Amino acid sequence: MKGIIALEDGTVFEGESFGAPGESTGEVVFNTSHTGYQEVLTDPSYSSQIVTMTYPLIGNYGVNDSDIESSRVQVSGFVVKEACPYPSNFTSCKTISQYLIENGIVGVQDIDTRALTKHIRVKGAMKAVIWAGEQNISVDELIDKAKAWSGLQGLDLVKNVTCKEPYFWNEHKHSTASKSESRYSVVAFDFGIKYNILRILQSLGCDVTVVPAHSSAEQVLSYNPDGIFLSNGPGDPAAVTYAIKTIRELIGKKPIFGICLGHQLLGLALGGKTYKLKFGHRGSNHPVRNNKTKCIEITSQNHGFCVDMESLKASGAVMTHVNLNDNTCEGLKDMKREVFSVQYHPEASPGPHDSGYLFEEFISLLERKNTRAKAKMPALT
């Protein structure tokens, strides 16, 4: 089958379909990761995006049942130079083509992904339509559809990916089982949360209750958590007004740690502003400097918006990490109110583990909070 990518500026790339037939609209972006394509496909932060992989061969180790970060494939479309039809790996149970077809996702290969990526870098991420089918179709019609799509600016995509009801995380599955004996309890907002975040929190001794994005501060505090986690997610953070309001009400009541969209929402709740990046940061090889240690971390990233630190000057928050490619904010903290966050993904999946220490810093914050609380308790007589 024929496959087409039509961009809003009239640029068209034609190739061959390797996924499901059909048509989908989204923002076309690129990811520079060499591996981890299954985690990319299932990352809710890619909702409403057509992802182009810059590495030329995708699918060489197939698809398995464990390398997933959510309950389904989340991308609107997938673009590669070559989709490997004969994967080689002992865990592989299907090809990437079969995976996309099963999930109804349009995939196009035999595209000059280098040219597409360079175009996005020059012109910026833009609205697009991905199409695959046997019949002939008007390219001009596809371009018009791309132009007509509303785009991501001002669009709340969190409501499309968040869970419907609260649940306890238990062995990679949604579970209503009783909480285990753990050191700490954490409430995690699901703005599009990745499974590996929950795995890491659980491995560090946390019982994690995941709550929908629209949960109120009163509902969150009713669990009496030791700490609160703000997850990653898709879309424009400024559009998720209900979450910003809730986070603002929670600041100062419990320690808070945010990642990606959670970082942006925390910045907005502290009184700051966010803005859209030209083509975003997506990949597992982005250099970030820790301003305290001066160490450089190679990080996994997936975002199209950024916190404006100038707008937070009066808030008391400081920038903790900076992106070395474009000097944008990659982390902030306000230790007086016991909140901190990073723009990138310390849980990786895919990506390097340079930033895994941030989860341990969150646990240390919970420990200090608990120690102070115990010290204030009256002695038993």
Structure tokens at 28: 């076309």
Q: Is 213 exposed, middle or buried (CB count within 10 Å of its CB: 0-12, 13-18, 19+)? A: buried
Q: Give dist(CA 163, CA 150) in Å, integer.
A: 24
**pLDDT tens, N- to C-terminus, the chain (381 residues):** 999 999 999 999 999 999 999 999 999 999 999 999 999 999 999 999 999 999 999 999 999 999 999 999 999 999 999 999 999 999 999 999 999 999 999 999 999 999 999 999 999 999 999 999 999 899 999 999 999 999 888 899 999 999 999 999 985 444 433 454 578 999 999 999 999 999 999 999 999 999 999 999 999 999 999 999 999 999 999 999 999 999 999 999 999 999 999 999 999 999 999 999 999 999 999 999 999 999 999 999 999 999 999 999 999 999 999 999 999 999 999 999 999 999 999 999 999 999 999 999 999 999 987 776 666 655 544
Residue 231 in contact with residue 191, Cβ under 8 Å?
Answer: yes
Q: Which part of the chain is CATH 3.40.50.880?
A: 161-375
Please, how many CA atoms are within 13 Å of residue 302, restricted to the half-sphere of its CB? 37
Choice among 206, 260, 306, 329 that is catalytic: 260
161-375 carries CATH number 3.40.50.880:
yes
CB within 8 Å of 103: residues ≥ 6 apart = 20, 72, 73
134 is catalytic: no
Distance of CA 117 to the CA centre of its chain: 20
What pLDDT is stored for residue 176 in this prediction? 39
Q: Which part of the chain is CATH 3.50.30.20?
A: 2-148
Choice among 27, 297, 338, 347 that is catalytic: 347
Q: 318-323 and 206-212: which strand pairing?
A: unpaired
Nearest CA-CA partner of 18 in 117, 95, 129 = 95
345 is catalytic: yes
39 is catalytic: no
CATH class label, 2-148: alpha beta
pTM of the predicted structure, to 2 decimals: 0.93
Angle between helices 261-269 and 241-250 (to 10 degrees): 70
Q: Give dist(CA 342, CA 298) in Å, integer.
A: 13
